[in-house]
């Protein structure tokens, strides 16, 4: 019985880690998109000033 509880706990922890990873991946993707947009905006501003 204790081994079954351990397996269940391992499965739960695996799902928790997957959820955390997915959330971080999503957040990093969003941050990357913002950085890309800001850099494009800066490039366009530099081209207009030339």
Task: Place 2 in a pLDDT band, splitting at 50, 70 and 90.
Answer: low
- Looking at residue 3, what is its pLDDT? 73
Say how far apart CA 22 and CA 1 lie, in whole Å.
32
For 3-46, write each residue's pLDDT tens digit.
778 889 999 999 999 999 999 999 999 999 999 999 999 999 99
- Looking at residue 17, what is its pLDDT? 97
Q: Is 31 exposed, middle or buried (0-12, 13-18, 19+ CB in 10 A)?
A: exposed
Query: Residue 49: is its pLDDT beyond 90?
Result: no
Task: Place 1 in a pLDDT band, splitting at 50, 70 and 90.
Answer: low
């Amino acid at each position: 019985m204790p081994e079954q509880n351990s397996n269940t706990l391992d499965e739960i922890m695996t799902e928790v880690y997957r959820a955390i990873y997915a959330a971080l991946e999503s957040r990093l993707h969003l941050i990357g998109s913002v950085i890309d947009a800001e850099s494009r905006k800066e490039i366009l501003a530099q081209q207009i000033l030339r």
